Amino acid sequence: MRAILFMIALLAAVLGALSSGYAQAQQQQLRILTSMSARVFEPFVKAFEAQNPNIDVLVLNKNTNHALGEVALGNGRKFDIFWASSPEAFDMLDDFDHLAPMDGKVHHAFALSAVGWSWKKDHLAKVPQSWNALLERKYEGRIGIARPSRSGTTHLIVEQFLQDRGWEDGWQYVLQLSANFATITSRSFGVIDGLKSERFDIGLNIDFLAISEDDLAFQYGRPVMLVPGRIAKLKGSGAPELADQFINFVLSKTGQQILLTPKINRIPIEPEIRQSIDYRAYPSLDAALRLSWASYDPKLAARRYWMVNEIFDQFITNQFGRRRTIWRDLRLIEDDPELAKKHRAKLDLARTYLLTMPIAEHEVAIMQPSPMPGPGMRYAPMTAEQKKFQVRWQSQAEMLLGLAENELREIKE
């Protein structure tokens, strides 16, 4: 009898162990932190889970800056992978030692993208063909853009202007372009939503966000700067082996082919796949690869990430209503030929104040970067130096707008 009881107990223990092992196998979980939309990441997740039925993939979608903040706090939720289109985000995470190497590299390029503008199909009588065309008066109140401190895509757009045109001319362009902004959204997806709901006619964004929408068209701005979207393993990962497995899947031929599905339409990083594509089926991708390329420096962008975002906020976002009113008043005066001729000097001076960026590039270059990436006090308390510059930049922005207002006020009196 004792022998029978012993065998029953032993069998129960074995079955319990097997059940526990099976449950553990079923409970493997990979955690991904990404700024990608579900339209991009879901096909990868579904294909990966189909190949690995014992792995559950949990994805948290955040805008780039808040995703950086999540990691900067110490990755308390043990995300395994960071996945985004903004290359400078990975350089920042690397600088602050948040990335774990895989195959000798701390991050891996998986796709190429470029920025430009989009619109609702059959909604524009004439599509602007260049960045400078967007400055024309007829686009006043018709352009949507996201806030760069909340959108890695918009930060990429602003940095492209600064790197291609130079610091001073780049900011002058952005300040002049702001005269035509209809709104500043909190996320890149807000630009897409605004176009679809017809809140504005033109949206500044990145290619794949628009190309993947059936009712939107997209135009690449020249020069085309193809930048690499990246994927990386995070330190503090709860499942580093699964992270390696997923990254290898994204970089595999199977994963790279997923990029070419109509709902994603991204340029694969794998040269062999790019060479094998019949671009007649992908005219937008063909355009990006054929147009002239210019180099983009993500390390420079990472180095001044906070500075560029803060300058945009102090001079444009936080002064949006006031700046738009001044531009409208100036243009209304210029619509009266006699009044404009009489007060040309004052109008030119007001315009100069609106287009002046008083912050020199060398001033930003010597600043120390934030101790941790991420927006706001919750993630990265500002240093004393940052607070000093924030107050100064706010004062400079308000002073220049005040001077422009004074010139126009004197014309009206």
Distance from C-alpha of 212 to C-alpha of 386, rounded to nearest angstrom: 39
**The model's pTM:** 0.89
Asked if residue 238 has pLDDT above 90, the reply is: yes
**Cβ proximity of 367 and 385 under 8 Å:** yes
Q: Where are the domains of the chain?
A: 2-113+227-290, 115-164+181-221, 304-413
Distance from C-alpha of 145 to C-alpha of 168, rounded to nearest angstrom: 21
Give the residue-averaged pLDDT of 61-86.
92
Asked if residue 382 has pLDDT above 90, the reply is: no
Q: Share the mean pLDDT of the chain.
A: 90
- CA 106 to chain centroid, in Å, comes to 20
Predicted confidence at residue 276, as pLDDT, reads 82
Predicted confidence at residue 5, as pLDDT, reads 47
Predicted confidence at residue 26, as pLDDT, reads 63
Residue 22, CB-side half-sphere exposure with 13 Å CA sphere = 6
Count of CB atoms situated within 10 Å of the CB of 354: 20
Third-level CATH fold of 115-164+181-221: D-Maltodextrin-Binding Protein; domain 2 (3.40.190)
Third-level CATH fold of 2-113+227-290: D-Maltodextrin-Binding Protein; domain 2 (3.40.190)
Both structure tokens of 366: 């010597």
For the segment 23-42, what is each residue's pLDDT rounded down to a tens digit? 455 669 999 999 998 999 99
**Cβ proximity of 152 and 229 under 8 Å:** no
Equal CATH topology for 2-113+227-290 and 115-164+181-221: yes
Rounded to the nearest 5°, which phi and psi values hold at 40?
-85, -50
Q: Which amino acid is at 223?
A: P
Both structure tokens of 338: 């006699």
